[in-house]
Structure 1
Amino acid sequence: MPVPLRFWRDRLVASDPGLARLRMGAWAVLTVAAGSAVLLLAAHLLGVSSNIALMGAVVGLMTTITVQDATHAEQQRTLAASALVSGVTVVLAAALARSTLTSGAGFVAVVVAAFEARRLGPRAASLGMMACQSYFYAVLLQPDAAGWPWLLASIAAGCAIAWLVRFVVLPERAPGVLHSELRSFRAAVAVLLHQLAAWAAAPDDERAERRARATLADINDLALRIDARLARFTAQDPPAAMQSLRDRLLAAEIACETLLAGIGESSGASATARGALASACRALCEVVHGDARLAPQAWCAQVAATAGALDADWRWRWEHAGEVLGAQPPWSAALPRLRDTTVPATPPQEPRPPPQQGRRRWLADEPTRHALQAGAAALVAVLAGHAISAEHWYWAVFGAFVIFTNASTRGQAAAGAWRRVLGNVAGLALGLLLAELAQGDWPLQLALLFVFIFAGFYAFQGLQAIYIALLTAMLAMLYELLGKYSPGLLVLRLGETLTGAAAAVLSAILILPSRTGEQSDQETVALLREAARLLRSAFEGSLRGSPTDAVRDLDRRLQALRQALGPVTGRELPAYASRHRTRLQQMAALVHCVRHCCNLLALKEGGWREREDLRARADAVAENIGRVAHALARPGLVPALRELPAVAAGPEDAPDPARIAAHWLEEADAVLRQIHQGPPTRCSPA
């Protein structure tokens, strides 16, 4: 069946929540275009070196990806500090450029200071990244140290142009971003419904199932992103709109999970029954698009037609899911008017591996450990890079630095190095091809340069390999415009980058190593304990705050585990860790069960919530969760799991909330027993 054009439009809208990527690409192009034009013209009129002008334009461009604060006020403070830090760093790099020894020592010192600064918070981490990139581009462009007043003025002007582009020409407003994110959420739901219809029609198609589950994970990430924005900003009238929208987002997300789980349950049904499921998904997709209204009776009749694929309980759940997505979706709610100020809150703790036994306290400190690893990698990269090329050694140092910006374990460092190698190889091929085609045609070279800048910064969030490839191609065009291009130069850059990647991996393995499995176990234990607490509180009626807040805390624990294991589970890796993928799947399944139990308790009022047999089963599952968490926290301990008490069965011909809750508890316990079996589910020491 041909895929409708609207499906691809929805995919495009869902892939860029809040137009963040499009905005970043536009910021980058406008900043570098305006900065280059203004500063090169000023340099020509004042008789200053063009390298000084280019330095200011590049610093302004880098603020696009380094200044990522929540509000305009915070962004402006970080941008102002970036101008100061970059100016000092560039002048230092220009002063130390007399020899490779002094320049390399300065680069290593800046790298160590940048990673140590992470202990001071996100702003200090951004400024550290800005300092390293400024030092690198100063070594690349080689501005004259004697012209340091003009150098500082150029950097200040470049940051001022970046400020105008960011806050005047293309400002980012919290209400507009929220509206765009909800639009992306709606498009993602429509994409999922289309994929579910395709999966229902072909239940044996593993790719269709994989695509649907990937889209569901994207919906969860987007819902968490919107929920974090709502929780972070203060709201004006209407006062209840904030919590109402958060509740609707969670309900819509759980409705999507319900629909996907129902398709999975129907895999053994007849073709006619599966066709009814596909028709129901397509009809609901039309409602989500706004092409039709959800008529409760018509929707119930469509769900009733799936009797050969779904039992009474599942049909009841599907009816409620359709009502949530069709009658009370988050995109139709009254939006709160967000102010550009944030609610003071304790910043969430980043996932960190546990301290290693036997280390001194200062060596067990995460920023210090990371700084020592990055500094050692930078030092090795300086020496090895200089052995390859005395003029272009800095590429090796920059390659090692970039890998450590997103890696804290040796497995994450190896995965980041591999992706960087792939991106550079692809960018080298693209750059060589286009440089030869555009040779001598400077208007085409200039156009391609801006195309690569826009596309590269568009891909910066979430598409790092593509970003690296486009950055390499962009450098080919820049070298061509500056008259320095040669195929051998790009090949040399690839060799230096490979050297830096190897230095980073060796440093992560040999210098105070931390295993991905340790970090995974730590995040898994935190997630399990949160799930046990939530399950007990939900059935005892002792939740603190709203149920949405409690469920979102559990979701963020799962998100932290995904961030810890995500770098090492990609299928593009030479030997991706299937055990890490198994761990993620198991934890996602457990969170799925607990979320649906809590949602069911919130939906249905009545005496079934106080049934002692159901509460006893929930207590047994919560205790088993705690025992598994204790076993992971103390390797070698294998506690026995409790058997679940029986729950009195209700009538099979009618939906029974107690039976549905008992089913989710049983599914959660089954996942726990898989984890409890041992080595196949524990993370490998990567």
Structure 2
Amino acid sequence: MPPLLSRPLDALIASDPGLSRLRMGLAGACCVAANLAAEALLGTALHLEPAALLPTMILGAVIAMIGSNALARPMARESLRAALFFPVAMGVGLVVGTLVGDSLWLSHLVFVLVMFGAVYVRRFGLDFFFYGFLLWMGFFFSLFLRPTPGQLPHLMLAVVVGTAVVTLLCTTVFRPHPRRTLARVFRSMVARRSRLLRLMASRLRAQSQRERDRLTRRVFDERALFDEMVLMSDGWAANARALPVGWSAETVRRSLLEGQLSLDLVGWASLHLMEAPPRVRSLAARALVHLADGDAESARRVAALLERMMAREGAPGQDPAADGAMDAGRLRREVRSLVRGIDELVRRPADPHLPPDLERNAEFTPAAALTGLGMLPGPPSVAKDVRARGARWNPVVRAQATTRQAVQVAIAGALAILAGTLISDSRYYWAVIAAFVVFTGTGTRMDSFGKSLNRVIGTVLGLVVGIALAALTAGHPMIELAVILISVFCGFYLIRISYAYMMLFVTILVAQLYGILGLFSDALLLLRLAETVAGAGIGVLVALLFAPVSTRDTVARAEREVAASIGDLMEGTALALREPGPGAQHEVDALLLATIGARRRLALAAAPLTRYHLTEHRPRRVRRRLTVVATSVSIARTVTSRVMARAASGDAVRPTDPSDQVEPVDPPRVDPRVADACDAVAALARDVADEERVAEASAAVGAAPAPDEGPQDSRAAHGSHAARTSRTWEDETLEQLSMLARSLREIGHPAAR
């Protein structure tokens, strides 16, 4: 495929790992269409009047939108078990709302209690998240539709039929096939890798420092997204049915980590080569572009030309006296690193095909457990164990996250009912909806603020587009229905990019729905905007003022988790060197991916602080700190991979205690200093991770020798040029460990927090 077509396709595939967003959008639109048709047939069979038919169709559409999100799981048995209680949850909400609907004050009081219960039950797992939402939606629709007790039987029948239809579709047509899904995630990783290589090439060609800095930030962001795909692949590998034929979960994990290491090697080399002469940078960029376009032969040819040129000419066009110019020895090393990385990426196929691996580990545990829907956990998973701020007398501060959010929702809901009623007696529930969703899928107060802001922005944009579309589609029910289905698809497809997109299309959907009902007016949508702003504002105020979870506290905790993970990784690496065995590589691989997962959780927690807004004026400082943490993880990953590769070649560490020496290994090709340095870095990382000792540790390690500053060896007796040209494998590894120690000191220093 020519680059003009392949690059946009790569961008589309890379942005949607496993095509999960596309599947979710199609499932939502198709389930809504199928349920509308099924409810229409049901209404015809029951001889319902149009006034009674429309509510059943609306209920069916709501069941479809929630069910398509909740029931499309790899295991059909899990989907069926979850679907059994869909009618129960929504039915309870409908019945309770119908019974109390005539009493205004009682309906408001029960509405608050229902909101509390809908959030409180989330503690029992993913299924109860949807059950709570269905309970809340059932009560809301009882207020919206105002059914009589005599209408409840056919409404409940509509709920049962809608649940059956969406369950059938989600367990057949839209059930994600584990092996195909993992293959699609692999394809997305290849596409993301291509985008990353093109960015590295653009950075090498950049002329100004400002452009290089901008591209470096983009490389950093793309690298983080690539790591997310690695974690997702590792999570799917825990499902035996997802594994390629002949593979074990450990083989998948090892292949993923080797691919990461090769990409790290190319990334570090391309970063350092920005100081190289223009001719070297141009050739390196050409090789990366060829590799990104899938032209492996051209990439090899250009890389070989670059290496021959360096061997023949040294540093062509380089002025030795130029400020900041790379010396010839360092330039050759970086070119060799780039060529080696390119060669490893060329030899790594896009679709894995390895010989059968018979060594299967029944206790394989993924680094990041996927949700029941096959996705990585979101921001709430990072903040759930962070203690809220507030007065000591407030018991909510010490409560579990679900209990705390349930109380917050109840308070915000009560205030939203009061404010919404002042705006409109009959449409106050729009304010309640806005207040309720503030606490759905959020973990910290800045998450709540961002979601509320996106809801308001999406509603404003949707109001503009919805009014224009409603004028065009008025009087054409089939076109209005088509716009509704397209809105459902686009909303589900784009929700993971930004919640504002979801609200844009939901507002368009609402405008079309009121057009079908004959109730549409510009004033009605403006009223929806006013209610939404009021409810979102109340939700934010409650999230900020009543037992809030601080984003900075969450980030600090996530940073300590990263440091602790690095400590575990370094300790595991040292142990694998001293006590090599068949399971050592698997243990280290698991620790390595756990470190990558901890860094991802930190990025999720810190995302709201990386942008300027009313309460954040230091995003550059936050981004700088995230870069230091990411660099620490990258160095740890590189050191561990190098050390384990060396140890796997049959090398071992000679015991330092003669009493422990049973059978010496001759010769010991891995220096014992490497294992000792790994232990030193592990101890430093654990000090940084200790919240109470971080200040003490920062002062102590500042004066302590670096891990590679042991007894002086022969390097000290030679000149600087000799030291550079006689560097051994151990010297380079110890230098990298020293760099890791410096990064950890920067992370743990109190002034940097």
TM-score by length of 2: 0.82
- Paired with 2:291 and 2:244, the residues of 1 have a C-alpha distance of 32
What is the match of residue 38 of structure 2? 38
Counterpart of 2:26, as a letter, is: A
TM alignment of 1:524-603, pairs within 5 A: 524-541=559-576, 545-570=586-611, 575=616, 578=619, 579-603=621-645
Which range moves more in the overlay, 303-312 or 103-112?
A: 303-312
Q: For 2:351, what is the secondary structure of its paired residue?
A: helix
What is the match of residue 400 of structure 1? 435
Give the counterpart of 1:391 among 426, 450, 456.
426
TM alignment of 1:82-97, pairs within 5 A: 82-97=86-101
- Paired with 1:211 and 1:495, the residues of 2 have a C-alpha distance of 38
What is the match of residue 671 of structure 2? 611
The alignment status of 1:328 with 2:348, answered yes or no, reads yes
Check whether the contact 1:412–1:568 (CA below 8 A) recurs between aligned residues. no
Instruction: Please state how far the C-alpha of 1:422 moved relative to its aligned partner.
Output: 1.8
Instruction: Please state how far the C-alpha of 1:633 moved relative to its aligned partner.
Output: 6.7
Instruction: Please state how far the C-alpha of 1:455 moved relative to its aligned partner.
Output: 0.8
Check whether the contact 2:202–2:285 (CA below 8 A) recurs between aligned residues. yes
TM alignment of 1:139-218, pairs within 5 A: 139-202=143-206, 204=209, 205=211, 206-218=213-225
- Paired with 2:696 and 2:404, the residues of 1 have a C-alpha distance of 27
- Paired with 1:210 and 1:174, the residues of 2 have a C-alpha distance of 34
Instruction: Please state how far the C-alpha of 1:365 moved relative to its aligned partner.
Output: 2.1
- Paired with 1:377 and 1:498, the residues of 2 have a C-alpha distance of 13
Instruction: Please state how far the C-alpha of 1:359 moved relative to its aligned partner.
Output: 5.4
Instruction: Please state how far the C-alpha of 1:454 moved relative to its aligned partner.
Output: 0.9
Instruction: Please state how far the C-alpha of 1:473 moved relative to its aligned partner.
Output: 1.5
- Paired with 1:554 and 1:84, the residues of 2 have a C-alpha distance of 42
Instruction: Please state how far the C-alpha of 1:133 moved relative to its aligned partner.
Output: 3.3
Which range moves more in the overlay, 472-481 or 442-451?
A: 442-451
1:251-306 Cα offsets, whole Å, 9 max, x none, are 112222222222221222221111011012023224xx3x4458978744445557
Which range moves more in the overlay, 312-321 or 555-564?
A: 312-321
Instruction: Please state how far the C-alpha of 1:108 moved relative to its aligned partner.
Output: 1.7
Q: For 1:546, what is the secondary structure of its paired residue?
A: helix
The alignment status of 1:311 with 2:331, answered yes or no, reads yes
1:341-370 Cα offsets, whole Å, 9 max, x none, are x98979969333433583576751222112
Q: For 1:604, what is the secondary structure of its paired residue?
A: helix
Alignment CA distance shift 1:4-1:330 (3 Å)? closer
Q: For 1:512, what is the secondary structure of its paired residue?
A: coil
Which structure 1 residue ranges, 5 or more long, are not aligned?
none
Check whether the contact 1:7–1:194 (CA below 8 A) recurs between aligned residues. no
Alignment CA distance shift 1:483-1:529 (3 Å)? same
What is the match of residue 278 of structure 1? 285
The alignment status of 1:451 with 2:492, answered yes or no, reads no
What is the match of residue 500 of structure 2? 465
Check whether the contact 1:403–1:413 (CA below 8 A) recurs between aligned residues. yes
What is the match of residue 120 of structure 2? 116
- Paired with 2:72 and 2:225, the residues of 1 have a C-alpha distance of 21
Alignment CA distance shift 1:239-1:8 (3 Å)? closer
Alignment CA distance shift 1:437-1:632 (3 Å)? farther
- Paired with 2:92 and 2:468, the residues of 1 have a C-alpha distance of 38
- Paired with 2:485 and 2:527, the residues of 1 have a C-alpha distance of 24
- Paired with 2:184 and 2:143, the residues of 1 have a C-alpha distance of 40
Which structure 2 residue ranges, 5 or more long, are not aligned?
316-325, 370-376, 653-667, 716-721
Instruction: Please state how far the C-alpha of 1:655 moved relative to its aligned partner.
Output: 7.5
Give the counterpart of 2:108 among 83, 98, 104.
104
Which range moves more in the overlay, 657-666 or 501-510?
A: 657-666
Alignment CA distance shift 1:474-1:295 (3 Å)? closer
What is the match of residue 629 of structure 1? 689
Aligned-pair identity in percent equals 25
Alignment CA distance shift 1:580-1:65 (3 Å)? farther
What is the match of residue 521 of structure 1? 556
Counterpart of 2:644, as a letter, is: A
- Paired with 1:386 and 1:577, the residues of 2 have a C-alpha distance of 39
1:534-557 Cα offsets, whole Å, 9 max, x none, are 112213326584322111111111
What is the match of residue 376 of structure 1? 411
Check whether the contact 1:304–1:315 (CA below 8 A) recurs between aligned residues. no
Check whether the contact 2:573–2:678 (CA below 8 A) recurs between aligned residues. no
Which range moves more in the overlay, 375-384 or 80-89?
A: 80-89
Which range moves more in the overlay, 512-521 or 665-674?
A: 665-674
TM alignment of 1:62-101, pairs within 5 A: 62-67=66-71, 69-101=73-105
Instruction: Please state how far the C-alpha of 1:69 moved relative to its aligned partner.
Output: 4.7
Q: For 1:391, what is the secondary structure of its paired residue?
A: coil
Check whether the contact 1:26–1:454 (CA below 8 A) recurs between aligned residues. yes
Check whether the contact 2:564–2:686 (CA below 8 A) recurs between aligned residues. yes
Counterpart of 1:587, as a letter, is: V
1:15-73 Cα offsets, whole Å, 9 max, x none, are 11111111111111111111112212322442330212321232122212234655222
Check whether the contact 1:66–1:127 (CA below 8 A) recurs between aligned residues. no
1:477-500 Cα offsets, whole Å, 9 max, x none, are 221222111111111111111111
1:292-322 Cα offsets, whole Å, 9 max, x none, are 4589787444455577476344344334422
Check whether the contact 1:39–1:57 (CA below 8 A) recurs between aligned residues. no
- Paired with 1:604 and 1:219, the residues of 2 have a C-alpha distance of 26
What is the match of residue 521 of structure 2? 486
Alignment CA distance shift 1:169-1:407 (3 Å)? closer
Give the counterpart of 1:358 among 369, 392, 404.
392
Instruction: Please state how far the C-alpha of 1:597 moved relative to its aligned partner.
Output: 0.9
TM alignment of 1:222-371, pairs within 5 A: 222-233=229-240, 238=245, 240-286=247-293, 289=294, 291-293=295-297, 299-303=303-307, 305=309, 308=315, 311-329=331-349, 331-334=351-354, 350-351=381-382, 352-355=384-387, 358=392, 363-366=397-400, 367-371=402-406
- Paired with 1:637 and 1:127, the residues of 2 have a C-alpha distance of 47
What is the match of residue 743 of structure 2? 671
- Paired with 1:630 and 1:52, the residues of 2 have a C-alpha distance of 57
Check whether the contact 2:688–2:697 (CA below 8 A) recurs between aligned residues. no
Check whether the contact 1:353–1:518 (CA below 8 A) recurs between aligned residues. no
Check whether the contact 1:276–1:305 (CA below 8 A) recurs between aligned residues. no
Instruction: Please state how far the C-alpha of 1:384 moved relative to its aligned partner.
Output: 0.9
Counterpart of 2:183, as a letter, is: H
Q: For 1:405, what is the secondary structure of its paired residue?
A: coil
Which range moves more in the overlay, 196-205 or 603-612?
A: 603-612
- Paired with 1:13 and 1:567, the residues of 2 have a C-alpha distance of 26
Instruction: Please state how far the C-alpha of 1:391 moved relative to its aligned partner.
Output: 0.8
- Paired with 2:257 and 2:528, the residues of 1 have a C-alpha distance of 48
TM-score by length of 1: 0.90
The alignment status of 1:24 with 2:24, answered yes or no, reads yes
What is the match of residue 646 of structure 1? 709
Check whether the contact 1:590–1:671 (CA below 8 A) recurs between aligned residues. yes
What is the match of residue 656 of structure 2? none
Alignment CA distance shift 1:674-1:638 (3 Å)? closer
What is the match of residue 321 of structure 2? none
Instruction: Name the count of aligned residue pairs.
Output: 673
- Paired with 2:116 and 2:693, the residues of 1 have a C-alpha distance of 32
Alignment CA distance shift 1:119-1:639 (3 Å)? farther
What is the match of residue 10 of structure 1? 10
- Paired with 1:170 and 1:635, the residues of 2 have a C-alpha distance of 53
- Paired with 1:167 and 1:96, the residues of 2 have a C-alpha distance of 36
Alignment CA distance shift 1:446-1:573 (3 Å)? farther
Which range moves more in the overlay, 361-370 or 447-456?
A: 361-370
Q: For 1:333, what is the secondary structure of its paired residue?
A: coil
Which range moves more in the overlay, 181-190 or 421-430?
A: 421-430
